[in-house]
Amino acid sequence: MSTKALVIDDSRAMRSILSKILVKLGFEVLQAGDGREALAVLERESSAFDLVLSDWNMPEMNGLEFVKAMRTEARYAAVPVVMVTTETHIDQMVIALEAGANEYIMKPFTAEMVEDKLRLLQVVK
């Protein structure tokens, strides 16, 4: 059984970078270009996700709106969400965590930083 992650970012390059990191850590990765598309992916997939990495600033539905929408669904309550964003202000971090994000990674980041956060969340060993 593989662990499944959803990467949400309006930048194709960023989705690719994050996906490569996650695949190396043993995840099966699906991608979405914004929050609305991500909700559709969650809805469409029959098996549960073990992790969501979401950008904050995206068109259609941003990461914050996505996290709030996702957290209204009981079946997604336990899925760890990591905001991966250029928003570096401490207030933004607090807003994201209050909305339901579990961790916060600031861009630019390294593969090690991502792996460390996932270890903290106990999503990887």
What is the tens place of the pLDDT at every residue in 70-116?
999 999 999 999 999 998 899 999 999 999 999 999 999 999 999 99
Domain chopping of the chain, boundaries: 3-120
- Two tokens, residue 106: 């600031």
What predicted TM-score, i.e. pTM, was given to this entire model?
Answer: 0.96
The confidence band for 40, taking pLDDT boundaries of 50, 70 and 90, is: very high
Where b means 16+ CB within 10 Å and e means fewer, 46-60 reads eeebbbbbbbbebee
Q: Which of 116, 117, 82 is nearest to 102 (CA)?
A: 82
The CATH homologous superfamily of the domain defined by 3-120: Response regulator (3.40.50.2300)
pLDDT in tens, 50-66: 999 999 999 999 999 99
Q: What is the CA radius of gyration of the chain?
A: 13
Query: What backbone torsions phi and psi does residue 122 show, to the nearest 5 degrees?
Result: 60, 35
Query: What backbone torsions phi and psi does residue 52 show, to the nearest 5 degrees?
Result: -130, 130
Range 98-105, long-range pairs (CB < 8 A, 24+ positions): 99/64, 99/67, 99/68, 99/71, 100/67, 100/68, 100/70, 100/71, 101/54, 101/67, 105/53
- Residue 64, amino acid: L
Distance CA 101, CA 59 (A): 19
Over residues 13-18, the mean pLDDT reads 98
